[in-house]
Amino acid sequence: MRALLFKDFGAIELADVPKPGLEEPGDALVKVTTTAICGSDLHVINGRIPGMSPGGILGHEFIGVIEEVTPEVTRFAEGDRVLGSFMIPCGHCWYCTRRLYSRCPDNRVFGYGAFLGDVNGAQAEYVRVPNADLALHTVDPSMSDERALFAGDIFTTAYDCAVEARIEKGDSIAVVGCGPVGLMAVQAARAFEPATIFAIDTVSQRLEMAQTFGAVPIDAGDCHVPSHIQDHTDGRGVDAVLECVGVVAALLDSIDMVRAGGHVSVIGVHSDPELVLPLNITFVKAVDLKFCGTANIVGRWDDALGLVASGKADPEAIISHRMNLSDAERGYELFAARQALKVVLTP
Ligand SMILES: [Zn+2]
Ligand SMILES: [Zn+2]
């Protein structure tokens, strides 16, 4: 089968590799119908997520049709159309039994290499899915691949961030960063009926898209964002901030722009080992600072898919490029150069 392989740091290649088979109890084999390139795939390629070996198959966002299952799989059968979760929780540890799947110490991730379970990815014609009863979700026939796809990763990730931000009806909130996850966060936040969603970025196309999703765009290159937000919230700041960037400056700005007693929910991936945090301000403002870590896909994708099914969210609106898997290398180039917002691939 054709698959997109990690070759070396900074290098990928499309190649013919053996079709995977069932390996462990609970496995399913899925024929991939649609897959996508995610920002974290770039981290795998550049080594920020370490452990990938040459020849490993990339990718963790996919939809497909089940071709074969092991007898241990109880929820799915051959021919079922399924959405994959990027994470594969164990299903039986202290965390999993409490539905805190993203905290599972034995979580595996498709296409992330040796430190996250050594499971091949889904940018291929077929993918082996371990623990399929947990890592797969049925897809309603009324929902297209593109519409359902992001509930397996970025849309549910953004929804997780919105839940943790404890948004209440009528609130004013801010979404910091309008990359794919930030744009999904604007859509997910709408489910909680805030009165105002400020969307912050410096890229005009992303701000325009956030505006079409109902947000008030703020170009961070044009103003001091926390001051601007205070001017538009009677001097208080917003009730909640969804931080979707993952750099220190964005986190500090988030603490600056939230009102006293407000919530900052952080889904942007932080990797700095330390931070100079103004503890005095953070303490006096009583900021509720919540780091989401890896989002709880398996615990929250029912709700996220419900939003998509009801039409309250349109995740596929962020797709900028549709390509065949054979053009995946070009897709990665465009995505890395930020000329593509979201690339979906058809094997
Ligand atoms: Zn991802
Ligand atoms: Zn577990």
pLDDT of residue 136 exceeding 90, the answer is yes
Q: Which one of the ligands is nearest to 131 CA?
A: 2
CATH code, domain with 340: 3.90.180.10
Amino acid at 315: P
Q: How much distance in Å is there from the Cα of 166 to the middle of ligand 2?
A: 26
pLDDT of residue 183 exceeding 90, the answer is yes
What is the per-residue pLDDT for 47?
87
pLDDT of residue 50 exceeding 90, the answer is no
Q: 309 in a domain, yes or no? A: no
Q: Which one of the ligands is nearest to 107 CA?
A: 2
Q: Which one of the ligands is nearest to 298 CA?
A: 2
22 and 105 both lie in a single domain = yes
255 and 284 both lie in a single domain = yes
The total of structural domains in the chain comes to 2
9 and 109 both lie in a single domain = yes
199 and 235 both lie in a single domain = yes
Q: 297 in a domain, yes or no? A: no
290-317: average pLDDT: 97
134 and 6 both lie in a single domain = yes
92 and 169 both lie in a single domain = no
Q: Which one of the ligands is nearest to 121 CA?
A: 1
User: What whole-number percentage of the chain has pLDDT above 70?
Assistant: 100
pLDDT of residue 49 exceeding 90, the answer is no
Given phi > 0 = left and psi -120 to 50 = alpha, else beta, which region is 235? left
Q: How much distance in Å is there from the Cα of 76 to the middle of ligand 1?
A: 24
Q: How much distance in Å is there from the Cα of 100 to the middle of ligand 2?
A: 8
Q: Which of 32, 47, 55, 132 is CA-nearest to residue 88? A: 132
CB 262: neighbour CB atoms within 10 A?
25
Write the CA distances from 85 to 18, 65, 118, 214, 227, integer angstroms.
Answer: 23, 14, 16, 28, 39
Q: Look at strands 238-243 and 258-266 and give their pairing.
A: parallel
List the Cα angle 128/133/134 in 5-degree steps: 95
List the Cα angle 21/153/328 in 5-degree steps: 65
What is the per-residue pLDDT for 271?
86
Q: What is the pTM for the complete model shown?
A: 0.96
**Exposure on the CB side of residue 189, measured as CA atoms within 13 A:** 34
Quote the domain boundaries for residue 18: 2-139+314-346
- pLDDT tens profile 257-289: 999 999 999 999 998 999 899 999 999 999 999
CATH code, domain with 216: 3.40.50.720
Exposed, middle or buried, 96 (CB in 10 Å: 0-12/13-18/19+)?
A: buried
